[in-house]
Every structure is written in structure tokens, then in C-alpha cells.
Structure 1
Amino acid sequence: MIPNNRTSCYNGWTKEYQGYLMGEYHAYQGKGYVCMDKNAEALHTSYANLKGALFYNVEGRCCTLKCPPYIEGAELASVVCSNST
């Protein structure tokens, strides 16, 4: 996963999917970040509370990231790539 606000892979790599960097609410003890597919769909077969995480978009903050190229408050893109070598 490349969470560097990228939507393309390095030369020689294959794009599996692209999306947005997401994680738990910032005030909770996070379980890390994931690249959520931009075409993700909800699974409507279970209504049980399994104590899982709710996903929130990760937004850029100029106090911790260099602006530009990042934009204050903008959602961060990500891409998942694979390499067969």
C-alpha cells in the first residue's frame, strides 16, 4: 500500500485498486490505517455489533505534512500495488 496521496503505482508494479486512506476516529486508540477501495460496497447481511472499527477518512494536516503538495483538510488518496518479482 502506498498512502502517499498517490493514485498510481511505480513503474513495473501492477495497480490492484486505488482508494482513500482510512482509519478509526482520531480520539480512539487506532488499529492502524487501511487503503479503502474507492468502489467499496457495504455488506448488508449482518447487523450484529461485533465491536469492530468504524472507518473515517484520513485528512491532511499542514502542521504534520508538508503543504503543498498536501492540502489542509483534504482526504488522502492511496493505492495498493503488487509486484511479481
Structure 2
Amino acid sequence: MSQKITCPNCKTEIDLDKLGEERYKHMLEDQEKKLEEMREKDKEEMRKKALVWAEEKAREQAKKDAVEMDDLKARLKEQEKS
């Protein structure tokens, strides 16, 4: 059973249950938007962290490769001297 009131000035009938449902629906939609925005923000933050991590690992690997290359060059020079 819906609750209805009539405006004393303009005699318009107002359905209070319908108004309540609409407000609740809008509130849920707003919460869903905020949740989706938070998820997108978290995803972007994780992407940035992953990129930083990948770049750091690439730098570490490049350093290791450079050290290994220098070692190989030194060995080659020693072998050429012998």
C-alpha cells in the first residue's frame, strides 16, 4: 500500500513511496559510480606500480648484463695474451 499525500495548494497527489524509491535508486547509482571510480583509481595505481617495478627490474638486469659483458671481455683479453 503506497502512501500518498495531496498538496494543499495545488491539489497535486504525491506518492511518497515512489519518491523514496527514486531517492534510494539515485543513492545506489551514486554509490556504484564512486565504487567504479575507486576501482579505476586502484587499477591505475597498480599499473603505475607494476611499471615502476618492471623498469627497476630491467635496470637491474642491464647492470648484470653489463658486468657479465665486462667479465667476458676481460677473459677474452687474457686468452688473447696467452
TM (norm. structure 2) is: 0.17
Greater relative CO (CA pairs within 8 A, separation 6+): 1
Structure with the largest fraction of strand: 1
Larger Rg, first or second structure (1 or 2)? 2
Structure with the largest fraction of helix: 2
